[in-house]
Each structure stands twice: as structure tokens, then as C-alpha cells.
Amino acid sequence: MFLGGLLLGGRLADVFGARSMMLTGLVVFILASLASGLAQDENLLISGHLCQGIGAAMLSPAALRALADIFHGTERTPRQISSR
């Protein structure tokens, strides 16, 4: 679900904004993690992991977009580490 939802998560971040999608994805991921941790049978565990993939697919593209919006120009360029 994670890999399949990355494109959809990126598009939703474009439409609704990176901040709102990041928060929504985080809430979905946390609730799914709680459901997986408290699972009493394998069906609930599998559905919890499925929802974790959906939450991660919403969270990842929005977080990358937020990072790209925060850092500009030379801040985004990796610095060379000089050896002395």
C-alpha cells in the first residue's frame, strides 16, 4: 500500500497542502500502529499494517515537499566535508 499510494499522496499534498496532509498521514499512521500493537488476531494485524502503509504514503511526499519549501538555494546544497 505504501508504494502504490505514494503518487496519490503526492497529488493530495499538492491539492490540500503539505502541512495538512503531513498531519493527516501522521494521525492515520499513529492510529494504525496502535491498532496493530493491540491486535488480537492476524486479520486486525494485517489491516493495521495496511493502514500504516496508507498513512506513510500520505506522510512521506508531504514531508519531502515541506523540506523543499523550507530550504532554498545554497541551504539545499550538500556541503563538502574537508579533511585536514
**pLDDT at position 41:** 94
Q: Tell me the C-alpha distance between 79 and 58, whole Å.
A: 30
**0.85 exceeded by pTM:** no
Tell how many helices (H) and how many strands (E) occur in the chain: 3, 0
pLDDT digit string, tens, across residues 22-76:
999 999 999 999 999 999 999 999 999 999 999 999 999 888 888 888 887 777 7
- pLDDT over threshold 70, residue 83: no
**pLDDT at position 29:** 95
Angle formed at CA 26 by CA 43 and CA 11, multiple of 5 degrees: 100
From the list 47, 68, 45, 49, the residue with the least C-alpha distance to 57 is: 49
Q: What is the pLDDT averaged over residues 10-23?
A: 89
> Using an 8 Å Cβ cutoff, are 56 and 29 in contact?
yes
**pLDDT at position 82:** 64
**pLDDT at position 80:** 66
